[in-house]
Structure 1
């Protein structure tokens, strides 16, 4: 069994000056990520209006599958025209870790 995580650091549009506006950008991205059957949530920069950190976790039998799913998640987030993907941090854990 292998688990993989990714944390996406996002820059939101300048019109997201309230937490309600921020949620209007974050919520659809999280819903789209969950279609990959991953666990996804806002995990950081909770009080910052123009930034967001989204976390994704996946469990699979093979490390290659974990990488494929995280790649697909990263492509989905990077393709969103309304946000800018600043960085991605990934980790892979195996049964021996």
Structure 2
């Protein structure tokens, strides 16, 4: 079994409150879940209104599938015009490790 995850650090555009932040981050998290059947959540910078951490994880039997899905998820986040992707950290482990 292969376990993969991504941690995104994103800068939000013209956001002035935590409520506006949620209105930007929630649709991104929902789209990641819907399009790629992954677990996704806002994971960091909860108290900052212009920054967000988004975490994505998945489990599959094939390493290539995990890499393919995580690559696609990273492209989706990077292509969102309302945010700027500052960094993406990735992890990939096999259950026997």
**TM class by smaller structure:** over 0.9
Q: Which is richer in helix?
A: 2
Supply the distance in 1 between the matched residues of 2:47 and 2:16 (Cα, whole angstroms). 11
Per-residue CA deviations over 1:12-49 (Å, capped at 9, x if unaligned) read 01x31211000010011001100210000000000011
Partner in structure 1 of residue 27 of structure 2: 28
Query: What is the DSSP-based 3-state SS (H/G/I as helix, E as strand, rest coil) of the residue aligned with 1:49?
Result: coil
Q: TM-score, normalised by structure 1?
A: 0.96
Supply the distance in 1 between the matched residues of 2:82 and 2:95 (Cα, whole angstroms). 38
Supply the distance in 2 between the matched residues of 1:12 and 1:76 (Cα, whole angstroms). 15
Supply the distance in 2 between the matched residues of 1:20 and 1:49 (Cα, whole angstroms). 8
Structure 1: gaps of 5 or more residues = none
Q: TM-score, normalised by structure 2?
A: 0.96
Q: Kindly report the root-mean-square deviation, in angstroms, between the aligned alpha carbons of the 2 structures.
A: 0.7
Q: How many residues are matched?
A: 96
Partner in structure 1 of residue 7 of structure 2: 7
1:69-80 equivalence runs, <5 A? 69-80=69-80
Q: CA deviation at 1:56?
A: 0.1
